[in-house]
Amino acid sequence: MKLRGVAALSALALGLAACGSGTEAGGGGGDITIGLAVSTLDNPYFVALKQGAEKAAAELGVRLTVVDAQNDATNQVNQVQTFTTQGVRAIIINPVDSKQAGPAAKAAENATIPLVAVDRSVDDGKVASEVASDNVQGGTLAAIELGRATTGEVVHLQGIPGASASRDRGRGFEQGLNSGGIKVVASQPADFNRAKGLDVMTNLAQANPGIKGVFADNDEMALGAIKALGDRAGKDVQVVGFDGTPDGLKAIEEGTLAATIAQQPDVLGRKAVEQAVKAAKKEPVQEVVDVEVKVVTKKNLAEFKK
């Protein structure tokens, strides 16, 4: 590698260090650097997504630089803008907020750097490829499964309001409600966070003492809800989550979580890197990449435990 290439990569590392936590993975080959802007690494789901991306980067011989927005949409825009000034060949964004990711997409477009969205969409901006689970289908499956597990009044713990995953899972959940005898009596955001899920569920349970079920837009909030419900969880109140995280699977095994809709975050990360590398090389990319979701219950739990 030429000296000026080394200098450019050194500048990249220094510049990103000021924007968030950064890690690099690569096979040491090629001259392609991909930037990955993750919404938060304070969530095992996104840690798995990052690990899948890092493994793909290593196998493809490209350099991957990861930054953590810590669920701050403004911080994430700044991180993407920094990427555009540091010579990356493609950018992958896992938006904190799909609506607020527009300026990040515009910055990439202005710099003629291809942008790949992963797990969540970008509402207003140009992307070369979108890699995501079918969250609408997942929400529908969650409603069907909750309807199988219980009947009566249920509550819905929503994710970050501006995130496409929250909107799509909520839309799918509403579509699936007619499949069973459940009725939503309260919905409230808990921002995909376990501690907030605990707080919100505590308040909702007090306001709605007769509830029989909970759907949470991710396993972290579901686990918070389980803690708030105490001995009621898995007995007179059934909880369904989303993601299929190790802690979620453990809760299914213990009987406190009735089901979760398993995504494949490592596959999402891998496919996002694959599309980003193709875009960086100006090769044809797949505009939409769908990754399958599956219902996990105690019956098929063994298939998902690693």
CATH number of the domain encompassing residue 268: 3.40.50.2300
In the chain the first and final C-alpha atoms are separated, in Å, by 40
Q: What are phi and psi of 144, to 5 degrees?
A: -60, -45
Q: Are residues 246 and 284 in the same domain?
A: no
Q: Are residues 92 and 24 in the same domain?
A: yes
pLDDT tens digits along 231-252? 999 999 999 999 999 999 999 9
Count Cα neighbours of 278 within 13 Å in the Cβ-side half-sphere. Answer: 14
Same domain, 191 and 274: no
pLDDT of residue 175: 95
pLDDT level of residue 306 (50, 70, 90 thresholds): low
Q: What is the pLDDT of residue 180?
A: 78
- Per-residue confidence (pLDDT) for residue 278, from 0 to 100: 98
Residues 44 and 112 in one domain: yes
Check whether residue 126 and residue 268 sit in a common domain: yes
For the cut 80, the answer to whether the pLDDT of residue 198 exceeds it is: yes
Is residue 7 pLDDT above 50, yes or no?
no
- Which comes out higher in pLDDT, residue 214 or 13? 214
Phi, psi of 43, deg, nearest 5: -160, 120
Q: Which residues contact 27 (CB under 8 A, 6 or more apart)?
A: 57, 58, 59, 60, 61, 62
300 to 163, 303, 305: CA distances (angstroms): 30, 6, 10
Look at the chain and report how many structural domains it folds into. 2
Helix/strand/coil for 18: coil
Same domain, 205 and 221: yes
Residues 99, 159, single domain; the answer is no
pTM of the model: 0.79
Q: Strand (E) positions, 82-173?
A: 90-93, 115-118, 129-133, 152-158
Domain of 240 in residue numbering reads as 135-263+297-303
Q: Mind listing the pLDDT tens digit for each residue in 149-164?
A: 999 999 999 999 999 9
Looking at the fold, whether 40 and 159 belong to one and the same domain comes out as no
